[in-house]
Structure 1
Amino acid sequence: MMPDMATMSSIAGYWDAAARRFDRGADHGLREPRGRTAWAHRLRAWLPEAPADVLDLGCGTGSLTRLLVEQGHRPLGIDLSPKMIAHARARLAGTGAEVVIGDAGKPPVGRRKFDAVLARHLLWTQPEPQAALRRWARLARRGGRLVLIEGRWNAPPGAVPYAERAEATPWAHGVEPAVLREALTGLVSDLRIEPLDDPALWGWETDDERYAVIATV
């Protein structure tokens, strides 16, 4: 079922409210050199050689977008939250990087194509994650990369939806690698899954499952 405008407004409002404190998370703000270095190393390994056109979906405050710029890529960041985008624009000021407000599940990019499509912890927010995956794959140039940073979270008993009507998101607590692999069948090739259990990436020792899917479209 497609989300209605009220649901999307509720979700955008949730992330607007989170924007001011979002970068306090070590894995969000990437303020510590150790974390920035860990993410930069993986982006270099996952993405095509720079300069590449990279679509950064659910870019939030632009921490990964900034790393993409520093590595010589040409990123376009998309996020549903106007306040997240405001923070991203401040972070990227003077770099020439483009960030826009929009639904990352249905990216407002027209006929543009990209060398790589990148999404970090975005599928759990999607009311129709498999439809989103199909759209994302179509936005990559032939031979381009699809990079999905995902996980399966340890949700506490009785956890409530993160925003009004967000309980309609089928992967609300993340997605197992095997399920995501199956959802990508026919869309990609050369798919590999890389565990992301390095504490430097998150700022702490994790006890849930975190991984990246790197595939060719």
Structure 2
Amino acid sequence: MDDNAMKSHIAQTWSAEAGYYDNHVSHGVQTDEEKKLWMEVFSALLPGNALHILDVGCGTGAMGLILAGMGHTVAGIDLSEGMMAIGRKKAEEQNLPMTFLTGDAEHPPFEPETFDAVINRHLLWTLPHPETALASWHRVLKPRGVVMVIDGVWDDGSFGAKVRRGVSSGIARIVEAHPHGDKGYSDEVRAALPNLGGVPEETARRYLTDAGFGDIAVQDLARIRENQRKRLKWYEKINPRGTYYLISGRKGIE
């Protein structure tokens, strides 16, 4: 499968989930309490006020809209028109300065040194060429701009993790009208993704370093994860906990 066909399949998969994506804990930001926690994380990392921020793989705009609400101007790009349609509606309803554009996260269609910050959440694991993506994000950042990557590992490949995820998803398929991930990627696409079960911190750090980022730091998002856990259904809590982190780096800083 070539890249165009693969990314078309990925876009169609997420568009099929767009209507109920935000209903799932850890996808949509569902409470003011969780929103406040995200704002605290971003405030500590961003280099100033009223920044121009790129949200790559923005989906329904969960992160970008929080940043827009903090006074920043946000451009979101995604391959899934279905997901962005939900995001556009939310931005309009909340009167927030976030635009949504069709674009490939690995090749964002912007000039060099356009943005003060680049952010993405739950994206790195689903990229066929993560090294290309990091190099592109470095290119579109201004000097001293910051990249923020939110990801984790939810399937370490162990037998125990496989069993627990299988039990949880099996129950979800029985009791939910729209269980998350029910559509899923084809076997061919899954085989082409180097981080299908999530991105270990050391792998993410290597991606940032190789792309030229410095001042790299990892923040454990345990407080956000615990906040989300309070809203999980009992069978969702069967899933392995895994890791959840934000890794950041800056352009032009060793």
TM over 0.5: yes
Which of the residues 206, 214, 218 maps onto 1:189? Answer: 214
| 2:214 is the counterpart of 1:173 | no
Alignment partner, residue 147 of structure 1: 148
Counterpart of 1:49, as a letter, is G
Contact 1:50 1:73 in 2 (8 A): yes
Alignment partner, residue 207 of structure 1: 241
Alignment partner, residue 134 of structure 1: 135
Cα deviation digits, residues 174-194 of structure 1 (max 9, x gap) = 111112212222511111111
Alignment partner, residue 185 of structure 2: 163
Runs (4+) of structure 1 exceeding 6 A deviation are 158-161
Note the C-alpha offset of 1:211. Answer: 0.8
Note the C-alpha offset of 1:152. Answer: 1.2
Query: RMSD across aligned C-alpha pairs, in angstroms?
Result: 2.3
Q: Distance in 2 between matches of 1:96 and 1:146?
A: 20
- Name the structure with the higher helix share: 2
Alignment partner, residue 80 of structure 2: 81
* Partner SS for 1:76: strand
* Partner SS for 1:103: coil
TM-score normalised per structure 2: 0.78
Cα deviation digits, residues 54-80 of structure 1 (max 9, x gap) = 101111111211111111101101111
For structure 1, which segment, 167-176 or 95-104, has the greater mean C-alpha deviation from structure 2 after superposition?
95-104
Note the C-alpha offset of 1:157. Answer: 3.4
Aligned length: 216
Identity %: 32
For structure 1, which segment, 197-206 or 83-92, has the greater mean C-alpha deviation from structure 2 after superposition?
197-206
Unaligned 5+ runs, structure 1: none
Q: Which has the larger Rg?
A: 2
Q: Distance in 2 between matches of 1:101 and 1:78?
A: 5
Contact 2:61 2:87 in 1 (8 A): yes
How has the CA–CA distance of structure 1 residues 3 and 42 changed in structure 2, closer, same or farther, with 3 Å as cutoff? Answer: farther
Unaligned 5+ runs, structure 2: 167-180
Counterpart of 2:162, as a letter, is P
Q: Distance in 2 between matches of 1:9 and 1:216?
A: 31
Q: Distance in 2 between matches of 1:207 and 1:177?
A: 15
Note the C-alpha offset of 1:27. Answer: 2.4
| 2:76 is the counterpart of 1:54 | no
Q: How does 1:76-115 map to 2 (within 5 A)?
A: 76-93=75-92, 94-111=95-112, 113-115=114-116
Alignment partner, residue 64 of structure 2: 65
Note the C-alpha offset of 1:4. Answer: 2.8
Q: Distance in 1 between matches of 2:222 and 2:150?
A: 12
Cα deviation digits, residues 99-137 of structure 1 (max 9, x gap) = 112211211224461100101111111111111111111
